[in-house]
Homo-oligomer: A and B are copies of this chain.
Amino acid sequence: MEVLTGGVCAAKGFYASGAEAGIKYQNRKDMALIYSETPCVCAGTFTSNVVKAAPVLWDKKIVENAPYAQAVIVNSGIANACTGREGMECCEKTAAAAARALNVPADSVLIGSTGVIGMQIPVERIEAGIEKLAAGKAHSTEAAQSAAEAIMTTDTVDKQAAVRFEMGGKTVTMGGMCKGSGMIHPNMCTMLAFVTCDIAISKELLQKAVSESIVDSFNMISVDGDTSTNDTFLFLANGQAGNPELTEENADYEIFKEALHYINTTLARKMAGDGEGATALFETRVVGARNKEEARTLSKSVICSSLTKAAIFGHDANFGRILCALGYAGVDFDPERVDLYFQGKNDKIHIYGDGVACDYSEEEATKILSEPEVTVLVDMHQGDAEATAWGCDLSYEYVKINADYRS
């Protein structure tokens, strides 16, 4: 497996573009296009929030019923959530405009929106934006970059990943992009993430692989515990790699799943590390749990704890908050058997064991906690299962961003 650049344009036959459409207040790119020159098998997962944005309802229908997908239109700035009938009409008009501009069926057009909830999108700006996107689309690293920038809201960096691998005698390429960075606590999916691939694969197997991969990637991150109304993950596969169509869970499927896991965890980590106001990626790895489910629950509880997140921001080895977060996760364990470690790029120190604080150096702990990626390692000594969750610290900047977001 070879790591590449090129994001959603890395795979054969995929085009992208980004454009300014005047949806955001500032003059910033706010619309993106992903387009495949040939029809795609498509899989997706969506928010579990009862309040679902209009584009989520639109996409679910396409993923479940349409014969194929061929384009994705994304806007940032307005989420098109809590917008009633007018919001659904906006999706219909968006798909119709994209269908005309790209010469594809309207029911092959997927839609993603992100931004303020409760406002209506000025649909004529979307329609004009689609003209620009169609005219500017290209199969290039620059085009993928432009699309990845256009979907950003409070993100500070664009988030892309791509890999290449061999399968059935052919070279297959997969690439994706996503955006965070607030209201991030995905449940069944993430805010907005799009992965393209030139693999030939059946729809059933693709959906299975996607649904499984989400659980240990996007569903293991949290910025603020708020599960968005717009969470959307979409995977488009156009088959241009020319491999024999993947239809069963054989050795090739395992290769594909490994590549998918790499792309998804890479994007998920980028999203967590660029959480609103974040100064550090905060990783919690739980080992020695009784089962996978408990390992996931425990690791997620730690990265979701506001108090622990604030301590990480303050570079403070306040390990009691970590134990406290493990303790209210809903998993039974004996606190006296737990071991806690802080882990940096080169150092690892034992913080807690045998029911009491270890005799560690506060100075060394502060040094580790000042790195841009901080890992807490928890050994439960209950079994063999493990899981990793990713979050970020809680800073003044998070509060600032979210106290002022609309203004």
Contact = CB atoms under 8 A, between A and B. Distances in A.
B82 A307 contact: no
Contacts of A304: 225
Interface in A51-78: 51-52
A405 B324 CA distance: 16
B406 A327 contact: no
A156 interface: no
Contact of A357 (B118, B225, B331): B118
Interface string A321-355: 10111111101110110000000000000001011
A402 B311 contact: yes
A224 B324 contact: no
A202 interface: no
Contact of A118 (B182, B187, B226, B320): B320
Interface stretch (A23-31, A103-111, A391-399): A391-399
Name the residue in A51, A83, A406 with the highest tally of chain B Cβ atoms < 10 Å from its Cβ. Answer: A51
B82 A328 contact: no
Contacts of A227: 324, 327-328
A211 interface: no
Nearest to A49: B327
B399 A394 contact: yes
A370 interface: no
Given A225-B304, A306-B225, A119 B51 contact: no
A51 B326 contact: yes
Contacts of A400: 396
Nearest to A338: B51
Given A84-B354, A310-B402, A399-B398, A226 B316 contact: no
A50 B404 CA distance: 38
A117 interface: yes
Contacts of A336: 84
Contact of A226 (B85, B305, B319, B407): B305
Name the residue in A81, A86, A304, A327 with the highest tally of chain B Cβ atoms < 10 Å from its Cβ. Answer: A327
A356 interface: yes
A51 to B, nearest CB: 3
A16 B318 CA distance: 33
A314 interface: yes
Given A48-B328, A335-B50, A396-B399, A182 B85 contact: no
Given A117-B319, A225-B306, A396-B399, 7 more contacts: A49-B324, A82-B355, A84-B354, A84-B356, A183-B307, A226-B324, A398-B399
